[in-house]
Structure 1
């Protein structure tokens, strides 16, 4: 049996926490590319903008590098990994400081033909 081709795109060091980004990517898993684009386009979340860019990049990779048909593509896998944390100091009472961790994400989208 012939193995189906896949295409992948990754956005690294995206300034959004992985927990918030996972809420968005869970909505588009196993959906067709056109349906996933519609969901992301009208989602109010900041993570949707980043995910839409990665999805469009994965589709472009599939069409241009692997010669796949854009109409038959669907979101095969999509996941968010945690990137490094930026440590920032936050002033508190009596001259003390707390550490605030700004979390970064790596968003990966893999598309495949049905």
Structure 2
């Protein structure tokens, strides 16, 4: 039985978050958490919390069964674009350059190996 956790409107670009998501896709949950705890990228912290939340959701669905005994894996993880804040930055000769501050939505699905 699979469990889902979602992170919405996290203020970093989807491209940067996809780099981390691609690294942990299909990985064992314990290995994914260990890798995210030691990863230098700033997006690793909310992704670590999201994976832990998905594990907790799985345990609640399965009547408190331990996630370590079940051998959970990150079955699916995907990153979608979210709202974009549009700002203006001063430019030469009275013009303005548009700055697009992107954010993203992340969805994690964990499931047992068998």
**Normalised by the shorter chain, which TM-score bucket?**
over 0.9
Partner of 1:103: 102
Partner of 1:44: 40
What are the within-5 Å matches in structure 2 for residues 25-40 of structure 1?
A: 25-40=21-36
Asked if 2 retains the 8 angstrom alpha-carbon contact of 1:37 and 1:52, the reply is yes
The size of the alignment, in residue pairs, is 110
1:28-82 per-residue CA deviation (whole Å, 9 max, x = no partner) reads 1111110000110000011111111110110110002333531111100011100
What 5-or-longer segments of structure 1 have no aligned partner? Answer: none
SS in 1 for 2:43: helix
**Structure 1 residue aligned with 2:13, among 12, 17, 26?**
17
Indicate the RMSD between aligned Cα atoms, in angstroms: 1.0
Point out the more displaced range, 58-67 or 99-108: 58-67
SS in 2 for 1:31: coil
Q: TM-score, normalised by structure 2?
A: 0.92
Query: 4+ residue stretches of structure 1 with deviation over 4 A?
Result: none
C-alpha distance in 2, partners of 1:57/1:82?
Answer: 21
